[in-house]
Amino acid sequence: MFVNEQVFISCDTKFDRALLDYYGPKSSVMFHGVQFFRGSVHAPLDDLRDLPEEMTRKMYLLHYSDDWELQQIAEFGGWAEQGASTVSELLPCFGLLGFSL
């Protein structure tokens, strides 16, 4: 999903490099589902780590499992807020970054 030509949200998407290469440069902020193993529904963290820094630094990870605090994600924007139902809730500083939807 690409919202207001500035926010990319992967929803339940496996790793798709072509999709990310297309929307990454157009996005001001990105949200991507992540898992800490191969297979299943979301992109493995190791695959997302292979993306360029220009993309990962504006990417916030969501749909993560309970052991998320054990993961090192310094190259990413951070973790999206669990239980959020709006983009502003997903990323509490969204408004502070100058974005509006």
> How far is Cα 33 from Cα 43, in angstroms, rounded to an integer?
6
Asked whether residue 28 carries a pLDDT value surpassing 70, the answer given is: yes
The 10s digit of each residue's pLDDT in 2-20 is 888 888 988 778 899 999 9
How much is the pTM?
0.79
**How many alpha carbons fall within 13 Å on the CB side of residue 4?**
9
- Please tell me whether residue 33 adopts helix, strand or coil conformation: strand
**How many alpha carbons fall within 13 Å on the CB side of residue 3?**
14
Give yes or no for a contact between 46 and 52, defined as CB atoms under 8 angstroms apart.
Answer: no
Domain spans of the chain, in order of start: 2-97
* pLDDT the model gives residue 23: 96
- Please tell me whether residue 5 adopts helix, strand or coil conformation: coil
